[in-house]
């Protein structure tokens, strides 16, 4: 079942906070995972796998490198939930 | 480089079955408390473990570390970080160039809890769900790496692995790093977090653990006729070492001098100690000699004494072989009676205790010594802690590990 962008953003922010300690309110669509949130590739993989479970989607490894901002990830998840 | 340089201890830290700090641990030792208690984890019943108690850590790391630190570090690293931060603060956060600051943290087993938890994830959920930090969390050098990151130490981060002698070896290694000119300050210690059904089952299978499930606090009883094995413990202990001149120049408080390390290997059996103590006695004598002392100068021994029937006798034989009649003037204590056996952290914790013993001139009493084994003719401090005299004093701290590793450290008053 598709969720709203806001629901996905909040869920993603929760995952990012859990894994990295970054404040959930700093996880905003325009933020870059690496540049703004200082998330390394290992943490990114954990976030992806946790997001797959939470949102019931599959994010292939090849697609992960295209998710540079939080907004990219939210849109990807929403489309995948379709 | 100066081989006769004096290396001193300016900070101590620990998180143990007796307390969340070195000071709390010391107070509990003087109060004669036991850290052994029933295990409350579900897996005790799930696997029907033959041993249902251990000396678990007193303070949950979650009370002092951030949630993310707990998530991204194996407990071996968590404990080491807690102890290292305490020791570093206790030393007054020495101002030292990162390139002159080193770390040496030993462990017996490494990140066994992560290894086994992630193996469960692999079996239950498949490879994609295995945590990406699995390898850096389980590797044996994970604690030294994390402590070096935490303190910004860039002169080297080392991990001594010699089973239950690991923590003592790291401290000797650290002192030698300063003597050889590789670093000015070294943060050294040991850590272990192996209270998990697999290590418990393994140690139980080899009949190494006390079976006193109905009375955990009485289970660790070194030198007693009723001793029946060791009590598995966990935790970490860390010290800050620097040269005497370096400490003096910055006006640091000095606890004691870590005078020397003696090392040998038995080449006898993978787990059993050499019964006559040939190897262990060489390590002890080497430590005493390298400290520029004679056996009569050693007034106190913090023994390895794990409470196993064979091990305690073998260590006694080694002490007697090394020191002969001088043994009779050495006051011995076995603090594992209270702390349990912290494996790779044991030697580090016992060296912290030895340092505090020399500093406070007070020997914590061995507990649970109701009937001393008549074959062990040692002056074991029990019943009440004992004062050490004023003036120059020196103490010996023994650690032995599976694999036949023998480590002896000498601590002197300053």
Residue A1's pLDDT is 61
Cβ proximity of B265 and B279 under 8 Å: yes
Mean pLDDT along residues B211-221: 98
Alpha carbon of A55: minimum distance to chain B alpha carbons (Å): 15
Query: What's the DSSP call for residue A14?
Result: H
- H/E element holding A77? helix A70-81
Residue B29 has pLDDT above 70, yes or no: yes
Which residues, listed in sequence order, are joined to residue B188 by a DSSP beta bridge?
Answer: B104, B239
- H/E element holding A52? helix A41-55
Burial of A4 (0-12, 13-18, 19+ CB in 10 A): exposed
- Cβ-defined contact of A21 to B128 (cutoff 8 Å): no
The pLDDT tens digits of the residues spanning B251-308 come to 999 999 999 999 999 999 999 888 889 999 999 999 999 999 999 999 999 999 999 9
Per-residue pLDDT of chain A (82 residues; tens, 9 = 90+): 678 999 999 999 999 999 999 999 999 999 999 999 999 988 999 999 999 999 999 999 999 999 999 999 999 999 999 7
Query: What's the DSSP call for residue A32?
Result: B
Residues of B in contact with A42 (CB under 8 A): 132-133
Residues of B in contact with A43 (CB under 8 A): 132
CA of A15: which chain B residue's CA is closest?
B68
Q: How far apart are the first and last CA of chain A?
A: 8
CB pairs under 8 A, 24+ apart, for B245-250?
B245/B5, B246/B94, B246/B184, B246/B185, B247/B8, B247/B10, B250/B92, B250/B94, B250/B95
CA of A16: which chain B residue's CA is closest?
B68
Note whether A21 contacts B: Cβ–Cβ < 8 A: yes
Closest CA to B165 of B409, B410, B407: B407
ipTM of the complex: 0.84
Note whether A60 contacts B: Cβ–Cβ < 8 A: no
Q: Is A40 a catalytic residue?
A: yes
The pLDDT tens digits of the residues spanning B44-77 come to 999 999 999 999 999 999 999 999 999 999 999 9
CA of B71: which chain A residue's CA is closest?
A19
Residue B79, phi then psi, degrees to nearest 5: -65, -45
Residues of A in contact with B131 (CB under 8 A): 46
Query: What's the DSSP call for residue A63?
Result: H
CA dist., res. B142 & res. B112, Å (int): 11
The pLDDT tens digits of the residues spanning B371-380 come to 999 999 999 9
Note whether A14 contacts B: Cβ–Cβ < 8 A: no
Which of A20, A21, A45 has the CB atom closest to B132's CB atom?
A: A45
Q: What kind of fold does domain A5-81 have according to CATH?
A: 1.10.1200
Residue B4 has pLDDT above 90, yes or no: no
Residue B84 has pLDDT above 50, yes or no: yes
Would you list the domain boundaries of chain A? 5-81
* Secondary structure class of A48 (helix, strand, coil): helix
CA of A44: which chain B residue's CA is closest?
B132
CA dist., res. B263 & res. A47, Å (int): 47
Residue B3's pLDDT is 54
* Contact partners, residue B26, CB within 8 Å, separation at least 6: B353, B356, B360, B364
Note whether A47 contacts B: Cβ–Cβ < 8 A: no
Note whether B123 contacts A: Cβ–Cβ < 8 A: no
- H/E element holding A19? helix A5-20
- Cβ-defined contact of A21 to B67 (cutoff 8 Å): yes
- Cβ-defined contact of A20 to B66 (cutoff 8 Å): no
CA dist., res. B29 & res. B382, Å (int): 12
- Cβ-defined contact of A20 to B68 (cutoff 8 Å): yes
Residues of A in contact with B132 (CB under 8 A): 42-43, 45-46
Residue B257, phi then psi, degrees to nearest 5: -100, 130
- Cβ-defined contact of B131 to A19 (cutoff 8 Å): no
* Contact partners, residue B43, CB within 8 Å, separation at least 6: B49, B197
The pLDDT tens digits of the residues spanning B347-360 come to 999 999 999 999 99
Residue B1's pLDDT is 42
Estimate to the nearest angstrom the gap between the alpha carbon of B386 and the chain centroid.
Answer: 22
Mean pLDDT along residues B124-148: 96
The pLDDT tens digits of the residues spanning B91-122 come to 999 999 999 999 999 999 999 999 999 999 99
- Cβ-defined contact of B133 to A42 (cutoff 8 Å): yes
CA dist., res. B292 & res. B286, Å (int): 10
Structural domains of chain B, ranges and CATH numbers in brackets: 7-249 (3.40.47.10), 261-412 (3.40.47.10)
The pLDDT tens digits of the residues spanning B220-256 come to 999 999 999 999 999 999 999 999 999 999 999 999 9
Alpha carbon of A68: minimum distance to chain B alpha carbons (Å): 19
Alpha carbon of B21: minimum distance to chain A alpha carbons (Å): 26
Mean pLDDT, chain B, integer: 97
The pLDDT tens digits of the residues spanning B385-404 come to 999 999 999 999 999 999 99
- B/e letters for B388-405, b = 16+ CB within 10 Å, e = fewer, are beeeebbbbbbbbbbbbb
Residues of A in contact with B128 (CB under 8 A): 49
3-state secondary structure chain B: CCCCCCEEEEEEEEEECCECCHHHHHHHHHCCCCCCEECCCCHHHHCCCCCCEEECCCCCHHHCCCHHHHHHCCHHHHHHHHHHHHHHHHCCCCCCCHHHEEEEEECCCCCHHHHHHHHHHHHHHCHHHCCCCHHHHHCCCHHHHHHHHHHCCCCCEECCCECECHHHHHHHHHHHHHHCCCCCEEEEEEEECCCCHHHHHHHHHCCCECCCCCCHHHCCCCCECCCCCECEECEEEEEEEEEHHHHHHCCCCCCEEEEEEEEEECCCCCCCCCCCCHHHHHHHHHHHHHCCCCHHHEEEEECCCCCCHHHHHHHHHHHHHHHHHHHHHCEEECCHHHHCECHHHHHHHHHHHHHHHHHHCEECCECCCCCECCCCCCEECECCCEECCCCCCEEEEEEEECCCEEEEEEEECC
Which of A20, A43, A49 has the CB atom closest to B128's CB atom?
A: A49
Name which of B62, B67, B68, B135 to mutate to probe chain A: the one with the most chain A Cβ atoms within 10 A of its Cβ. Answer: B68
Mean pLDDT along residues B194-220: 97
């Amino acid at each position: 079942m598709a969720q709203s962008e806001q629901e996905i953003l909040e869920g993603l922010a929760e995952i990012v906070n859990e894994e990295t300690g970054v404040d959930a309110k700093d996880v905003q669509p325009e933020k870059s995972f690496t540049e703004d949130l200082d998330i390394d590739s290992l943490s990114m993989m954990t976030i992806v796998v946790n997001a797959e479970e939470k949102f019931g989607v599959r994010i292939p490894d090849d697609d992960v490198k295209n998710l540079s901002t939080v907004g990219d990830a939210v849109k990807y998840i929403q489309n995948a939930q379709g | 480089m100066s081989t006769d340089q004096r290396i001193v201890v300016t900070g101590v830290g620990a998180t143990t079955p007796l307390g969340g700090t070195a000071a709390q641990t010391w107070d509990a030792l003087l109060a004669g408390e036991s850290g052994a208690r029933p295990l409350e984890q579900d897996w005790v019943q799930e696997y029907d473990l033959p041993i249902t108690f251990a000396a678990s850590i007193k303070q949950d790391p979650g009370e002092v570390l951030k949630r993310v630190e707990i998530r991204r570090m194996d407990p071996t690293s968590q404990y080491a970080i807690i102890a290292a931060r305490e020791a570093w603060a206790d030393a007054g956060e020495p101002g030292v160039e990162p390139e002159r600051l080193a770390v040496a943290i030993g462990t017996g087993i490494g990140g066994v809890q992560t290894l086994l938890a992630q193996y469960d994830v692999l079996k239950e959920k498949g490879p994609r769900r295995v945590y990406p930090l699995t390898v850096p969390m389980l590797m044996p050098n994970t604690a030294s790496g994390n402590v070096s990151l935490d303190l910004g130490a860039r002169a080297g981060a080392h991990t001594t692995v010699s089973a239950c002698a690991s923590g003592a070896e790291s401290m000797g290694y650290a002192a030698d790093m300063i003597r050889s000119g590789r670093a000015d300050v070294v943060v050294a210690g040991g850590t272990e977090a192996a209270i998990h059904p697999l290590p418990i089952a393994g140690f139980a299978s080899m009949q190494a653990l006390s079976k006193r499930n109905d009375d955990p606090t009485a289970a660790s009883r070194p030198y007693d006729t009723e001793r029946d094995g060791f009590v598995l413990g966990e935790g970490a202990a860390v010290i800050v070492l620097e040269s005497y001149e370096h400490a003096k120049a910055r006006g640091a408080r000095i606890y004691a001098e870590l005078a020397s390390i003696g090392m040998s290997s038995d080449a006898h059996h993978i787990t059993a100690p050499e019964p006559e103590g040939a190897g262990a006695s060489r390590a002890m004598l080497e430590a005493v000699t390298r400290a520029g002392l004679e056996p009569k100068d050693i007034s106190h021994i913090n023994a390895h004494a794990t409470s196993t029937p064979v091990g305690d006798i073998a260590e006694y034989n080694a002490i007697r072989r090394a020191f002969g009649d001088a043994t009779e003037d050495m006051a011995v204590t076995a603090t594992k009676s209270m702390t349990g056996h912290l494996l790779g952290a044991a030697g580090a914790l016992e060296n912290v205790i030895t340092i505090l013993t020399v500093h406070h001139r007070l020997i914590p009493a061995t507990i649970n010594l109701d009937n001393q084994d008549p074959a062990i003719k040692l002056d074991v401090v029990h019943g009440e802690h004992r004062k050490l005299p004023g003036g120059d004093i020196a103490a010996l701290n023994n650690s032995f590990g599976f694999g036949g590793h023998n480590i002896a450290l000498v601590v002197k008053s300053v």
